[in-house]
Structures are given as structure tokens and as C-alpha cells.
Amino acid sequence: MMLPNKITPYARSTIAKFPPILKQLTQSDLSVSELYKSVKDSEIGDASEFLNVIDCLYALGMVDYDEERRVLRHVEGNTVQ
């Protein structure tokens, strides 16, 4: 996880990449590949960086994975500002 600091500006940090992903998931549940396709043009970076962002969001309780439907979903009660 790249946190903003003296060397890494906020725009390049992992935290700055949360909003595009959360915005997509608040609209609808998506599979990992569908989500990546929908946000890859919004400066998310490569697939490994995308997965790092998903891992962070999962650890923070912002997203959950529905194994039965095989989709990521936004956890209700957590909003994007």
C-alpha cells in the first residue's frame, strides 16, 4: 500500500484510487474482472495495483466478496464522499 508522503504524492497513493472503485460498486455489484474493466482508464494502474486497492478496501470493511454470486459489493453504511 502506497501511502502519501514526501516522496509519494496523494494522487499516486493507494488511497486516491479508492473513490473510482467505490463509485462503481455503489451503482451495482460487479465481478472483479468487470470492475477492473470499468475503472482501468481512471488512473488505477495495472492489475496488481488494482488488486492492492481491492485488498485495502476489503481490509477496511468497505467492500465484500459474495462467493455465491462471485461479485464484489459495496458494504452498506459506508459512503463515498
Q: Which CATH architecture has domain 10-74?
A: Orthogonal Bundle (1.10)
Cβ of 9: how many Cβ atoms within 10 Å? 10
- Asked if 15 and 53 count as a contact pair (C-beta separation under 8 A), the reply is no
Annotated domain spans of the chain: 10-74
Considering the entire predicted model, what is its pTM? 0.86
pLDDT in tens, 10-61: 988 999 999 999 999 999 999 999 999 999 888 788 899 999 999 999 999 9
